[in-house]
Amino acid sequence: MGFKCIMDIEKFHKHRACGDLSVLSLVERSLERIRTLDGEHGAWVHVADKDALLQLAADSDARWTSGTPLSALDGLPFSVKDSQHVVGMPTTFGSLAATPVLPTQSSPIVERLQKAGAIALGKTSLPEFSWKGTTESPRSGITRNPRYPHYSPGGSSGGAAVSIAQGACLLATGTDAAGSVRIPAAFTGTVGFKPSDSIALSTGAVEGFKRIGHWGVHTRTLADLARVWNTLYDSAAAPEQLRWASIDTSTRMGSRAKSFYDACVARMVKRFGPPAAVFRPDWVSARQAIHSLYLRGCFETFSRIDSLRIDLVDPGLADFANRGALVNAHKLAQAIDAQVMLRSMLDQIFEVADVLVLPTVAFDPPLIGKESPEEAGVDDWIDWAHCTYLTNLTGHPSLSLPWELEGVPFGLQVVGLRGRDAQLLAASEQINRLMGTE
């Protein structure tokens, strides 16, 4: 089973309408891909009962046959990151130290997808409690990149992105507190979307993550993402003449990432004209704010673990937690002030531009088993994720479009106005056609 036969939502609907494909056969195909491919990839940590899945698929087929599907997503298999809840499946957080949770209610995005008829196949891998931007954990080991085997698939929603890249499902849910949906999308050649904070802020998170943690969605194509969003929420028309903004050239980037971004900007200029604005973020304030909020979140998570099982925790997470213990109320207040300032700065850009474009990640991906790209020259993974954590701080919707340069995966990140997620997707379709990514 090669990657050439990977299904997407558009193809599924076309084949289903022609009678060439049923939901039942699609789910069987998904389970077969997991069985034959995931021993190498390590993306799945729990797969639902086969008989139960096939019954859900048969029920969906019956609805389609009778002309009463629950939505355009009815019967579509999806995966769920193992920090999110699905009734009937354990949540283990990638941890050997924490007691698995048997939830009585699914996470909001999972529940919404299930009400639309989508079928949750199982749970996907993550670093312990989603603490870093690559995907290895004490519980499930290393998750590998099926599209670019030399490189990490990124994280923390690495298993979610891999479940899409390997063709096991048509959409996936993840979480994103500093880029954890968009980073693995960029590294695996898939699409990842973090919605606005007004829609997707993770209010169930520990306090440190409540201001930056969002849920997100992975798909194989932007057209699939638009179909999912239009079904669950709303749609919008693209602007007649796209107004766009670029990132300031002083933004720290690796050599190949800069070549990639320069090429994207040149295409944008040729098609849409010069940028309406150039965004110059206060990167120093952004770094200080994300460190305070993220490290504090790790500390609060760590503090909930039974002291008798602390030795089982990933040492990297323990280090982040120890540093987070030093983040006091004053530092948290400073971080919140910085969020307000950065949000205002970015809002001003959207007074004259429809979208901001910048790299998803400003460096080559880390090699498999490494936590940071070599040329980034940093020890903390969070210090190479500045292009993504920016919008976790500001709350703006942002997505990563897949691209490749010299055999290395990159993502072009597109950011939109807060609360205008559908407009961001519509504008991104124009950019996507220009870049030739679909």
Q: Phi and psi (nearest 5°) for 302?
A: -60, -40
CATH number of 3-232: 3.90.1300.10
Which residues are known catalytic residues? 81, 156, 180
In 3-state terms, what secondary structure has residue 101?
strand
pLDDT tops 80 at residue 317: yes
The rounded mean pLDDT for the chain is 95
| Mean pLDDT, residues 85-108 | 96
pLDDT tops 50 at residue 362: yes
Q: Which residues contact 164 (CB under 8 A, 6 or more apart)?
A: 79, 170, 171, 172, 188, 190, 218, 219, 220
What pLDDT does 202 receive?
Answer: 81
More confident residue, 14 or 426: 426
Write the class of the CATH domain 244-435. Answer: alpha beta
pLDDT tops 90 at residue 284: yes
Are residues 359 and 261 in contact, defined by beta-carbon separation less than 8 angstroms? yes
| Mean pLDDT, residues 385-407 | 97
The token duo for 107 is 């996470």
| Mean pLDDT, residues 238-255 | 94
Are residues 179 and 381 in contact, defined by beta-carbon separation less than 8 angstroms? no
What pLDDT does 3 receive?
Answer: 45
| Mean pLDDT, residues 227-254 | 95
Cα gap 177→210, rounded to integer Å: 9
Q: Which residue has the tokens 């519509």?
A: 426
pLDDT tops 90 at residue 335: yes
Cα gap 428→414, rounded to integer Å: 7
At 186-239, the pLDDT tens digits run 999 999 999 999 999 987 788 789 999 999 999 999 999 999 999 999 999 999
| Mean pLDDT, residues 81-108 | 96
Distances (CA, A) of 277 to 202, 247, 248, 252, 350: 31, 9, 10, 19, 9
At 298-314, the pLDDT tens digits run 999 999 999 999 999 99
Cα gap 148→365, rounded to integer Å: 10
Are residues 375 and 254 in contact, defined by beta-carbon separation less than 8 angstroms? yes
pLDDT tops 80 at residue 438: no
Cα gap 178→172, rounded to integer Å: 18
Q: Where are the domains of the chain?
A: 3-232, 244-435
Confidence bin at 1 (pLDDT 50/70/90):
very low
pLDDT tops 60 at residue 437: no
Confidence bin at 19 (pLDDT 50/70/90):
confident
| Mean pLDDT, residues 230-257 | 95
Distances (CA, A) of 53 to 120, 124, 367, 410: 8, 17, 36, 35
pLDDT tops 90 at residue 249: no
User: Do 3-232 and 244-435 fold alike per CATH?
Assistant: yes
Confidence bin at 93 (pLDDT 50/70/90):
very high
Confidence bin at 5 (pLDDT 50/70/90):
low
Q: What proportion of the chain, given as a percentage, has pLDDT over 70? A: 98
